Each structure stands twice: as C-alpha cells, then as structure tokens.
Structure 1
Amino acid sequence: MTSDKQAKEPDAGSDHEADADLDVPTLSADDAVSPESPILEATDPGGRRLSRNPSYSEGSSHNDDWNSLPPLDRLTIFDFLDNLALPQQLEKLQKGITAQKEKVKRSRDAFKSTTQQARDRMVEEWRRRVPSADEQLERYKKRMRRRVDKLGQQWSDTKVIGIRDKISFICGVMNIFISGYLIGAFPQYFHLWYTAQLVYFLPLRFWTYHRQGYHYFVADLCYFVNVLLTLSMWAFPSSKRLFTATYGLAFGNNAASIVMWRNSLVFHSLDKVTSLFIHIMPCVTLHCLVHLMPLEQQEQRFPAIWTIKNSVPGSPTAYANVASMLAWSTFPYAVWQLSYFFLITVRRRDKIAAGRPTSFTWLRRSYSNTWIGKLVLSLPDSLQEPTYMMIQYSYAVLTMLPCPLWFNNQHASSAFLLVLFAWSVYNGSTYYIDVFGKRFQKELEAMKAEVSKWQSASDLAVQSPTLSPRPDDAPAQTSNRKDAHSTGATPQDKEDVVRRPTSGKQYFD
C-alpha cells in the first residue's frame, strides 16, 4: 500500500507542474476506498501471470508460524495480553497441584495419627482385659473345684436320676418281688395282678410314645396279644379257640421278641420295664392259669383252659396240638397283620416316609447287616414290606411249634420262662455296665481334657512375659502384680498347677 501511494502521489515539487499541464481526473469515493491493482502481463516466456503478493503455499515453513498470528494491521493489545496470560495459567495450575499435595499430606498425617491412637487404645484395652498369671491361677482353681464338685454330685447325688426314675426303680424291684410271691403263694390271683398292671402300663405307654412320635409301635403284635389275653380272661373265658390262639401267640412270637427286640430288665427305666412287662407277663400269667391254678377254681373260673387240658387226644376239644394252635393262631394273626398293613403302612405312608418310625423301619435298620436284612433290602421298595410280612409270619410259625410242649409240661414251661427272664436280666446287666460305665468314662475323659487344657493355659500364662507397649506403663504393671499377690496366690500355687492333682476335692480345699 505504501508503494501504491508513492506511485500514485507524485512529489510535492512536481504537483504544480502536473496541474499546469494535465487535467487530473477526480476519483469517486468507492474507487478511493478499494482501488484495484493493475493486472500485469507475464514477462516470462511461458506466459505465466505473476502476482505482486508473495505466496508461501508451496510449503514454506514460515507460513505455519505466521498463520496463527493476525496481520500486523489487525494486531491489538489483547493479543499481547493473551500471550502474557499463558504463564499465569501455568502458575495457577502449579498452585492447584501444590495445594492438593498439601491436602493429601495432611490427610495422611491425620490417618496416621488416628491409626496410632487406635493401636494405643487397643493395647491399653488388651492390657486391661488380659488377666495376670495369678488371676488365671485363681480362675483355674475355681473351675477345677466346680468340676470336682459336679462330678461328685453326679456320682453320689441324685440329680441325674430324677423322681420318675426313682419311682420306676422302686416299682420294678417291687414288681419282681410281688410277682414272685404271688406265683409261689397265690397263683390263682396272679391274673388280677397282671390286669392291674396292664391298666396302668398300656395307657402310660401310649401317652409317652405318642408324645415322642413312636405311637405306631403301639399297633405291634405284642400289644395285640395283651388285648387278646384280656378278652380271653374277662370277656370270653369259655372260648377254647380264643384261648388257643392267645396261648400260641403269647408263648410264640411274643416271647421270642424278648430276644429279637433286646428287652432288658433295667429297673430305673420306666420304658424298658414296660417293654419287658408287655412281652413276658402274658406268658407268666398263662403259666399260672394253666399249671399253677387249682383245678376246682380253674374249672369254675376258666372252663376253656380246664376243658382243653383234660381233653382226650383226638377229641374235638383237644386243641393242645401243633396243628390246632397253628390254625387258630393264624386267624387272629392274619386279622392283625392285614389291619396293620392297611391302617398303618398304607394310610400313613407319607408320615412313615417323612421319618415316623415303625417296627418294620426299626428292624430294617437294626438288621441291615445280617443276611436276612440284606435279602430284604436287595428287593425293590414295593416288595420289601410284603417280604417282611411273610418273613414275620414264618418266624411266628416257627416260634409256635413248641407251644404244645409248654402247654402240656409244667417243667418245660417253667424252664422256658426262666430262660426268658435270664435273657432279659443279661440284657439289663449289659445296659448297666456298658451304658453307665461308658457314660462315667466319658465324663472322666472330658474332665481330664479340661484339666490338661487349663494346665497348658496356666503354664503359658506363667512363662510368657507381660507385654508392655510403652515403657511408662511399668508402674501400672507393678501395681497389678501387687494386687494379684494380695488375693492369696503364691509361687507354690503356680508350681501346683503344673503337677496333676492327686487328692480330688481335698487338693482344692
């Protein structure tokens, strides 16, 4: 632009000469504002037109540097201020970073201080709660004194054996005594003694078993036999067939169940005394009615027994043979078995599957390792119950085969009852020796383990030094030791902890 003005405007000296010779045209306002550059023809041979403005479009590096800046005629003071504001922004960012670093450092110091305080509080709490060696010794002695007292009470006192067990023990012993006395002195009244006990034991058994969920056992054959004997004595004393069936089932399956069900004479257990009564007392009662009752009273009070006993072999009333006993015993047995199957096994199948025990489930579990148990369990589930029923009936038939011998021979019947009673006494002695002996042995082993544990704890407490996280806590530890010694613990007591006590309660007193 400067060159254009210089070209268009002549010197001051030459202006007067031009005004004199030439008529200078006057430009309009539009032409003066935006004059057009003259187009110069190319002087090179190729005929290329040249521009007066320099061009750096061919890749000059100076073009990139200057494109970011406005033209010089458009530069303002704000452009210079923007260039000066960049260092200020960097300085502001640096200050923010520094402030964040200081904040993080303060947070770290605060967390470190809080952690240290928490650790100190934990150490103080631990030192306050952990007892000293003397306190642990006193606790050990008190604990052992209580254990010895408890063991003495369990062995000599009557807290384990309740009032019900005491009464059961007395009743069991008195039952044996009274039963033996009646058998020897007044056998004609033994059936009264049996009936009185039956009225007491059966409702009690049903109530206790129903409360425990065992009431399906009350539907077993042994209870059915007791009901048949009651009907034969009090409702149908003249029925020879009912008496024959009752005698065969009582001396057969019911008596053999003492061996199978492991009935035992345990005087203090009401449950075991009741089970033995249900299985052996019908046999004893029938033995008194058949062999020990005077014939006059037998003929008058129980004509069915007197008729069968005095019948000629081969006569219509001679039921004291194997065929008659098996035949007439099978009929009530079939009634009981079918009733049990449909009323218990079928109608209560869901409850049995849920865990309600029955005689079949008990026998299947108890004899699962025997050959007969393996045989039943090898069958499908639908055939196990019928197979068990057939095995049970076969077992009942086998046990009823010698029943005519028990009926016709008093000495054989007495020997058979003696064997049954001795078997139950043997089971009871096994229970007392094994169960009570093992129970007392477990109690002693538990006490020995507890003594060893407390001995180890006391040894560690005596040998391990007291932790002192800060040196300034030494006076407090000294005062704690003095307080502990003031309770009465001595070094001799510490030595006694290591040794096993040999005098029981006397050692702690």
Structure 2
Amino acid sequence: MVETKEKTKKILSEHADKIAKRAEEHETFISKVTHLLGVLGFGAFCFILGARPQDIPYVYCLFYVTFVPLRWIYYRYKKWHYYLLDFCYYANTIFVITILFYPRNEKLFMVCFSFAEGPLAWALIVWRCSLVFSSADKIVSVFIHLLPGLVFFTIRWWDPVYFGAMHPEGNDRRASWPYAESKSYLWTWLFFVPLITYTLWQILYFLIVDVLRRQRLLRDPEVMTSYRELSKKAQKANNLWWRLSGLLGDQNRLLMYILLQAVFTMATTALTVPIFLSYELHAVFQVLKISASIWNGGNFLVEVMPRQAILKEEKKKKKSVVTVQSE
C-alpha cells in the first residue's frame, strides 16, 4: 500500500514537471510571436505615419476598438478591470468619438489635443511606461498614451484642410489658425474646458469606485485599482509619492491622491498651450515621448527581466528540493 502510494506520488510529480515545462515553452513561444507582431505592427504604423498621415486617426480608432475590449476581457480575468475606468480610457473614448463623428469640430479638437498632449503624454513619461514588444500588455499600455498625441499632431500640422489654412497661397510664411490668434479663446479650450471635463470624470470615478463599489473592493483585496497599485508600490519603495500622500495622515491618503492627480493634470494641461502654437516644439515633444517609452523598455529588458528570471530559477530550485525531500 505504501509502495503504491509512493509510486503514485512519483508519477504525479513527473507529470507536474512535464506540464510546467510545456507551459513554460508555450509562454516563451507566445512571447516570441508577440515580439514579432509588435515590431511589425509598430513598423507598419511608422510607415503609414510617413506615407499617409491622413489615415493615422483611423488606424488609431481601429486599434482602440480592437484592443480595449480584449484588454477588458483579460483584465476582468486578472481582477484588474477597474483600471479601465482610469482617465486615459475616458479620454481615449472622447478621442474616438471626436474623430469618427465630429472630425471638424475645432473646440472638441482643442479639448482632445489638451488631453492627449497633457495628462496622457506626461503619464507616459512620469509613470515610466515601457515599450516592450514581447509583452502585449505593455504595448497596449504605451499605445493608449502615445498614439493620441501622434494622431492630433498629424491633424494639427499635416491634415490637408488645416495645412491649407496655415499656408495661404502666395504667402511663404505660416499663418495662425483664426482661433489661435485669441489668447483667451486658446486658454479657454486648451485649459479651462479640459479641466472641467477632467473634474467630471473624477467625480464619476469617485462615485463608482470609492462609493458604489467600495464594499466589493474591501471584500476582495486582489481586485486592483490605480490607487491600490500606486500605493502598494510607493509604500514598498517609500518614495516621494508615498510621503506626499501621507501629509494629511494615512486616513486621508485617497484625498491626497486625488489632489496630487489634479495638480498634475493642471500643470500638464497648461503646457499644451505652447506646444499647440509651435510646430518645432510639438515635433520635439513627439520624439521625447517615443524615446522615453523605448528607454524604459530597454531598462525593463536589461534590468527587470534578468531579475525576474533569477527569481524564477530560485523558485524552481526550492520546488525541486522540496520534491526530493518529500520523496
């Protein structure tokens, strides 16, 4: 009886090892395929950006309506679905509606420009989004923040309708858009109206996540929100964010998070005004965003992934030692 039991344990252990090995091989293969498709997709996007910039808005819309629903399915399984209530998805939804249904609405365009080149663009840099082609999740995260700015860059400076308005026949110098000549109009639609729209999102987010779904979140600590993730990482690192969020005490960290995010949004939104008025500055900003995401991706590949591989091997060794001891 004891001998049969030991044989059964050995057989199950061998099968478990085989399954784990196959799963690892499958994961490696998926990563390679993702890397291939990611590089080809990014290359195709760059080609379209140069060859047919007028099509970039529709490429972006196709990306959004394809990958965001897929991300919701994946995040629902991982209990990360509350991330899809974050401001970046709220803003991207406004972008898609504007491009598809109100492409010539100048006021909506300016609000979208402010969001794309303000909070979303700087979040890409500040939160260190990494362009890692072997990770579909990281690719989508980068593109959610990067593509809108490139879309509104092409519309602002390369769209044939606006380009013709800025370069009148018989005039070598670039002319300002009619509404760009009025500073008050410019600040209204690039700063004040976007902030009102942002405040509306913040109120809705607070009501849904922190009021209506509060008990659900308290019951299950595995369900993640942006605040939970940032707090967890900040507390572990004991960084500036953690110290600032604790200025009013631990019981008011959520309030401080909302206030700090509002300050960040106001500052980055204000920076969109000079970017809107200067082609050169706007072009440099695109290079900065792309460079930052690629640099962060390089850091992830060179520094983070080797550490993850070492930890994975250590877990395997511990598991094998435990298996041997049990035998």
Structure 1 equivalent of residue 169 of structure 2: none
CA contact (8 A) 2:156 2:162 kept: no
Q: Which has the higher contact order (CA 8 A, sep 6+)?
A: 2
Which of 110, 113, 116 does residue 247 from structure 1 map onto?
Answer: 113
Matching of residue 409 in structure 1 with residue 275 in structure 2:
no
Which of 194, 198, 215 does residue 333 from structure 1 map onto?
Answer: 198
User: Given the two structures, how large is their TM-score scaled by the length of structure 1?
Assistant: 0.52
Matching of residue 198 in structure 1 with residue 64 in structure 2:
yes
Which of 294, 304, 307 does residue 438 from structure 1 map onto?
Answer: 307
CA contact (8 A) 1:228 1:246 kept: yes
The one-letter code matched in structure 2 to 1:197 is F
CA shift in 2, pair 1:298/1:255, >3 Å: farther
Structure 2 equivalent of residue 419 of structure 1: 288
Structure 1 equivalent of residue 13 of structure 2: none
Structure 1 equivalent of residue 14 of structure 2: none
The one-letter code matched in structure 1 to 2:155 is L
User: SS of 2:275's equivalent?
Assistant: helix
Structure 1 equivalent of residue 147 of structure 2: 281
Aligned residues: 294
CA contact (8 A) 2:180 2:277 kept: no
Structure with a larger share of its residues in helix:
2
CA contact (8 A) 1:244 1:328 kept: no
Q: Aligned partners of 2:302, 2:250: CA distance in 1, in Å?
A: 39
Select the structure of larger CA radius of gyration. Answer: 1
CA contact (8 A) 1:289 1:298 kept: no
* 1:146-187 alpha-carbon deviations (Å, 9 max, x no partner): x9xxxxx99xx9544133x34422221122211211221111
Of all paired residues, the percent bearing the same amino acid is 24
User: SS of 1:263's equivalent?
Assistant: coil
Query: Which segments of 5 or more consecutive residues in structure 1 lack a partner in the other structure?
Result: 1-124, 126-146, 148-152, 300-306, 454-509
Structure 2 equivalent of residue 111 of structure 1: none
- 1:261-300 correspondence to structure 2 within 5 Å: 261-295=127-161
Q: Aligned partners of 1:395, 1:214: CA distance in 2, in Å?
A: 24
CA shift in 2, pair 1:309/1:378, >3 Å: same
Matching of residue 313 in structure 1 with residue 313 in structure 2:
no
Q: Aligned partners of 1:312, 1:247: CA distance in 2, in Å?
A: 13
Q: Aligned partners of 1:249, 1:298: CA distance in 2, in Å?
A: 25
CA contact (8 A) 2:111 2:193 kept: yes
Instruction: Give the C-alpha shift of residue 296 in structure 1.
Output: 6.3
Structure 1 equivalent of residue 224 of structure 2: 357
Which of 376, 383, 407 does residue 245 from structure 2 map onto?
Answer: 376
Matching of residue 386 in structure 1 with residue 255 in structure 2:
yes
- 1:18-57 correspondence to structure 2 within 5 Å: none
The one-letter code matched in structure 1 to 2:177 is K
Q: Aligned partners of 2:62, 2:263: CA distance in 1, in Å?
A: 33
User: Given the two structures, how large is their TM-score scaled by the length of structure 2?
Assistant: 0.79
Matching of residue 342 in structure 1 with residue 210 in structure 2:
no
Structure 1 equivalent of residue 324 of structure 2: none
CA shift in 2, pair 1:312/1:286, >3 Å: closer
Instruction: Give the C-alpha shift of residue 375 in structure 1.
Output: 3.3
What value does the CA root-mean-square deviation take over the aligned residues? 3.3
Q: Aligned partners of 1:257, 1:404: CA distance in 2, in Å?
A: 18
Q: Aligned partners of 1:442, 1:226: CA distance in 2, in Å?
A: 37
Instruction: Give the C-alpha shift of residue 449 in structure 1.
Output: 9.7
The one-letter code matched in structure 2 to 1:281 is L
The one-letter code matched in structure 2 to 1:397 is M
CA contact (8 A) 1:222 1:254 kept: yes
CA contact (8 A) 1:264 1:424 kept: yes
Q: Aligned partners of 1:243, 1:363: CA distance in 2, in Å?
A: 31
Instruction: Give the C-alpha shift of residue 334 in structure 1.
Output: 1.0
* 1:311-357 alpha-carbon deviations (Å, 9 max, x no partner): 352288x42xx454211111110110000000111111112223122
* 1:69-103 alpha-carbon deviations (Å, 9 max, x no partner): xxxxxxxxxxxxxxxxxxxxxxxxxxxxxxxxxxx
Instruction: Give the C-alpha shift of residue 280 in structure 1.
Output: 0.5
Instruction: Give the C-alpha shift of residue 217 in structure 1.
Output: 0.4
Instruction: Give the C-alpha shift of residue 212 in structure 1.
Output: 0.7
* 1:115-162 alpha-carbon deviations (Å, 9 max, x no partner): xxxxxxxxxx9xxxxxxxxxxxxxxxxxxxxx9xxxxx99xx954413
